[in-house]
Amino acid sequence: MTAVKLDTFNNSWYHPGKNLMYRSLWYLANHLLLRSSIPGSFWRRGLLSLFGAKIGKKVVLKPRINIKYPWHLEIGDFTWIGENVWIDNLTLVEIGANCCVSQDAIFICGNHNYSSPSFDLLLKSIILKNGSWVGASSKVCPGVKMEENSILSMGSVAIGVLKENTIYQGNPAVEIKKRTIS
């Protein structure tokens, strides 16, 4: 049996897309401003856009959100991002229009190859199609695609593809019923 050898870990291939100075400025702005309790979405939208995020019209961004790299973030029109949401977007996170990401949700785009002795870094984008809803305290894993109007119930863990107009619950989240919008 081969042992895990973390001393051989090497993610030098990964480049977040901006230079060290730019990333440092973002880390400071994220920590002091975006993660603050100061109310208001207008200035949060402006700050994220200034650092390269693509933000739609009338997006609501609640206090204490945490974004790893705004230049890997796209949010569609009329979407809501709740308090304490953590988007660890080492690669693209695309959130469509009219989506809701409830408080304390976590999006993780990176993982590690557990079958590799060097525990290699693996990256996969996360995509939420229009009308999706991520419930409070839910976790969205690398590579998740939520189709239109899908729901991930409170406290659930999403993996894979969540079908359109379908509600998912649990860890891992499983289909529990169809979503009807009347």
Tell me the pLDDT tens digit for each residue of 64-75: 999 999 999 999
**Element (DSSP H or E) covering residue 81:** strand 80-81
Nearest residue to 126 via CA among 100, 144, 114, 99: 144
Quick check: 1 pLDDT over 70? no
166 has which bridge partners? Answer: 178
Residues 46-63, mean pLDDT to the nearest whole number: 98
Where are the extended beta strands (E) located within 98-149?
Answer: 100-101, 106-108, 110-112, 121-123, 126-128, 133-134, 139-140, 145-146
Domains of the chain: 16-178 (2.160.10.10)
Task: Please tell me whether the overall predicted TM-score, pTM, comes out greater than 0.85 for this model.
Answer: yes
Over residues 20-44, mean pLDDT: 96
Q: Cβ neighbours of residue 62 under 8 Å, at least 6 residues apart?
A: 41, 80, 81, 82, 83, 85, 103
Q: What is the pLDDT of residues 90-125, one digit of tens each?
A: 999 999 999 999 999 999 999 999 999 999 999 999
Residue-wise pLDDT tens digits, 128-179: 999 999 999 999 999 999 999 999 999 999 999 999 999 999 999 999 999 9
